Structure formats: structure tokens, C-alpha cells
Amino acid sequence: MKNIPARRRVYEQPLSGALIHQVMRRLFPKRNDYGTASFDELVPELAKFVINTRGKFQALMTHHRRTLLRIDRDPLYPWERKMFAEEYGEEFIRDTERRQYWFAYPALVRTAAEMEFGEAAEVYDAQPVIPADPLQRPSAASAVG
């Protein structure tokens, strides 16, 4: 029997919710680690696209890391801000705007899957929220200042 190198053993670890959380903590800011969403529900979503090992998951997230961080820093639409302030509270929204983050780790994983695999990776809510005026989002360039 051949000796398997340690890096390969780590790369080939089967994906689990705890492993997803561990990889995300190493690749993304701590401020995005909030909420009560389960990482275990991501495992079957990723398995549909043969992302079933630590190495494949880490490669997916590393590939899209810069784009995900840029998207995460984009300012909220006014309608989003109002809706989320009602749902999460004004204090939380002010903190996300001040520290320039929005997405929790599970949302970043799903966004990376959508970027990599397109519409097939999208997870739809039962009732999507449609804004009254979707063109009211400030541009990212004007927010950078």
C-alpha cells in the first residue's frame, strides 16, 4: 500500500458542515461569521456539482474570493436597507454599513456556487422580494469616495 502524503489526505477529506465552516473562517473575514444558518445544508447543495471534498471546496472559494469580498462590500439598495432594518434592527444595519459587510458565510458559499455553476446552483426562497424601484441602488464607485 502506498503512503499518501498529508496534504493529499487533507485535500481529500469528505466535505461536512464543520469543514465548510473551518475553511470559510480561514479564507474570509471574521465579521461575516454570524447568523444561525446551518452549514450542513450546504453539503448536498455542493455535492450536486461534485464539490464533495475539502480541496474542491477550498479551490472554489479561493477562486471567487476577491469577487465575493467586493460584492460583500457593495452598499445596500435603499429598499433593501429599509426591509432589513425592519427584520434585523437598525443597529445591525448601521454596523454592517460601517464595517462594510453583509453576507454571512453560507450566503458567500451559495454566491460562489452561482458564480461557478450558473442558474443551476441558485436556491430560491418560497416568496421572492421584489423592490418597488429596483434602480435606486447607489453605485459602488460613488460609495468608495
Residue 50 pLDDT = 92
For residue 24, is pLDDT > 60?
yes
More confident residue, 101 or 125: 101
The conformation of residue 30, written as its DSSP 8-state character, comes to: G
- Residue 29: pLDDT band (50, 70, 90) is very high
Average pLDDT score over residue span 1-29: 91
79 close to 133: Cβ distance less than 8 angstroms: yes
HEC-encoded secondary structure of 67-133: HHHHHHHCCCCHHHHHHHHHHHCHHHHHHHHHHCCCCCHHHHHHHHHHHHHHHHHCCCCCCCCCCCC
Residue 40 has pLDDT above 90, yes or no: yes
Q: What is the mean pLDDT of residues 30-49?
A: 90
- Stretch 74-103: mean pLDDT: 89
Q: In the chain, pLDDT over 90 holds for what percent of residues? A: 54
* pLDDT bracket for residue 36 (50, 70, 90): confident
Position 14 scores a pLDDT of 95
145 falls in which pLDDT band (50, 70, 90)? very low
Would the pLDDT of 30 be above 60? Answer: yes
